[in-house]
A = this chain, B = another copy of it.
Amino acid sequence: MLSHERVWAAIDTLAERYSLSPSGLAKKAGLDSTAFNKSKRLSVDGRPRWPSTESLAKIIEATNSSLDEFIGFVEGRTAALSVSVASARQTSGVPLLGFAQAGAGGFFDDAGFPVGQGWDLIELPGQATENSYALQVQGDSMLPLYRNGDVLVVEPAAPIRKGDRVVVKTLDGEVMAKVLERQNAAGVDLVSLNPEHPDRHIPIARMEWIARIVWASQ
């Protein structure tokens, strides 16, 4: 979100990234050196003072930064630090840890909530991709992998390869979720994880589209 605090934090982060003080950043951008004084971020009457859009454009250009980088600072997902859980909470992602690391001490409190340092960060679906959508499983045909009611997040723009879990739609309207075993000019071979359902071969001529499943609810 675009908030007063976030915008000022992004200005500070941009300055830090390019080894400048806020005052030095302002000068480099052709602004008054006191433009980004912390004492000027609130008005006399306590009202938040926003840097102008034109000022933001100037500092991005002056540092040869990019709008995407600056927005990364605004959103808190771009930082040069090893994140603590608290830092991770300030971003749109969630803290990530390997299972092996999870077994060690120092990553969880007594109730099982994540704490401390050393976490990586991961973006969850539906935030950065504009084409993803969700399909809800109906029936038991995809057990044991997917149960009735599970939600699958599908990313049609994602490249697919052997081993991926995919959704395939045939020209006669059948929609199925299976594992991609092979894809070539003739069609695709799909592996079912339910022994009661056979593996499938779908010729290209019968396939309307195929898309990768990126997340599944549990």
Q: B-contacting residues of A (Cβ < 8 Å)?
A: 1-4, 7, 48, 50-54, 56-57, 60-61, 66-72, 74-75, 78, 85, 88-89, 92-100, 102-105, 108, 110-114, 119, 122, 124-128, 130-139, 144-145, 147, 151-153, 156-157, 163-165, 167, 169, 173-175, 177, 193, 208-218
Contacts and interface: CB of A to CB of B under 8 A. Distances in A.
Chain copies in the assembly?
A: 2
Nearest to A100: B138
Interface of A is mostly: mixed
Contact of A122 (B51, B108, B144, B151): B151
Contacts of A67: 1-2, 71, 74-75
Contacts of A113: 131, 156-157
Contacts of A66: 1
A61 B99 contact: no
Contacts of A126: 92-94, 124
Contacts of A71: 67-68, 71
A94 B127 CA distance: 9
Nearest to A177: B99
A69 B54 CA distance: 20
A197 to B, nearest CB: 14
Nearest to A103: B173
Given A53-B2, A145-B144, A215-B218, A97 B134 contact: yes
